[in-house]
Structure 1
Amino acid sequence: MVEKFLKEYAKLIAEYPDKIQIQRNNLGENFSEIIIFADKIDAGRLIGKNGKMISAIKTVILACKVKDSTSYRVSIKTIE
């Protein structure tokens, strides 16, 4: 659910939406890392000025913890 939301949201922001990929790594029983892979230009857009965009994304994902009690770490990596 979270991965699908992040992928669709990132595609709306991205200049190259076809390059957006999401990877989820389960790090513990109730902890997962979600990595958003994007083009260099799109990584900047997803992070936003002073990190405001990624902060907003993390806030929305934090609300998902209410439903499935899993904590998430969200990071962005560039595709060369």
Structure 2
Amino acid sequence: MVEDFLREYAKLIVEFPDKIQVQKVDLEDNIIELIVFADKIDTGKLIGRNGKMINAIKTVVSAYKVKDLTSYRVTVKSIE
């Protein structure tokens, strides 16, 4: 559910929405890393000036912790 939200939200921000992919990686007990893969041009848009966009995304995703007691880490990586 969180991955779907993150994928659809990222598609609204970027220039090449068809290249957006979200990968879920289980790190430890109750810690999940969500990796957003985007085009090289779009990584800057997802991070935003001074990291404001990615911090806003992380804030919304962290709200899911209330629902399922899982901590989420969000990372943006570019597709070469």
Aligned to 2:37: 37
TM-score by length of 1: 0.98
Aligned to 1:54: 54
1:34-68 superposed Cα distances (whole Å, 9 cap, x missing partner): 00000011100000000000000000011010001
Structure 1 vs Structure 2 CA RMSD: 0.5
Q: Distance in 2 between matches of 1:63 and 1:8?
A: 17
Q: Name stretches of at least 5 consecutive residues in structure 2 with no aligned partner.
A: none
- Report the AA paired with residue 49 of structure 1: R
Secondary structure (helix, strand or coil) at the match of 1:15 reads coil
TM-score by length of 2: 0.98
Q: How does 1:1-80 map to 2 (within 5 A)?
A: 1-80=1-80
Deviation, 1:16, is: 0.2
Q: Distance in 1 between matches of 2:13 and 2:44?
A: 10
Deviation, 1:29, is: 1.7
Paired residues, number: 80
Q: Distance in 1 between matches of 2:73 and 2:29?
A: 14
Identity of aligned residues (%): 69
| Superposition misfits of 4+ residues, deviation over 3 angstroms | none
Question: Normalized per residue, which structure has more helix?
Answer: 1
Deviation, 1:28, is: 1.2
